[in-house]
Amino acid sequence: MKLDSNNYSVFLMYYHLVLVVKYRRQVFDSELSDFAKEMFTDIGSKYNISLVEWNHDQDHIQILFKSHPNSELSKFFNAYKSASSRLIKRDFPHIRKKLWKEMFWSRSFCLLTTGGAPIDTLKNYIENQGQK
């Protein structure tokens, strides 16, 4: 396993994040997932966050990502959820009709550290969740 590093430290910080659509509306398809994934990558790069694995179901996304110790995860989540909500409703009019004045994402989320589980195991788990 290769460790990440910066000028002063060596680290390996992987997280599993689940974001749910408000009211668990079933709106995700491949096109919307790709759009949300691209936004995650773009915004994440500003917070030293790198996407490792991505999967979606109709009402949620599952993300495996890694970050630096100085990454401000809560600020990143707020930036990502706010920007993606706004742009999804702008670029996908059929979703704007379903969620009219509501935010796209539920306020809650699930964030788990990987706790030393092998990354291949986590990737497999996230990949197989979309097949249920």
DSSP of 70-127, one letter per residue?
T--HHHHHHHHHHHHHHHHHHH-HHHHHHHTTS-SEEEEEEEEE-TT--HHHHHHHHH
Q: What is the pLDDT of residues 58-113, one digit of tens each?
A: 999 999 999 999 999 999 999 999 999 999 989 998 887 776 667 889 999 999 99
**Of 3.40.50.2000, 3.40.50.11260, 3.30.70.1290, 3.40.50.150, which CATH number belongs to 4-129?**
3.30.70.1290
User: Rounded to an integer, what distance in angstroms lies between the CA atom of residue 51 and that of residue 62?
Assistant: 11
Residue 126 has pLDDT above 90, yes or no: no
pLDDT for residue 132 is more than 60: no
What are the backbone angles phi and psi of residue 2, rounded to the nearest 5°?
Answer: -90, 130
Nearest to 23 by CA among 59, 77, 62, 56: 59
130 has a pLDDT exceeding 60? no
Instruction: Between 10 and 100, name the one with better pLDDT.
Output: 10
Tell me what the pLDDT averaged over the chain comes to: 89
What percent of the chain lies above the pLDDT cut of 70?
Answer: 93
3-state class (DSSP) for residue 24: helix
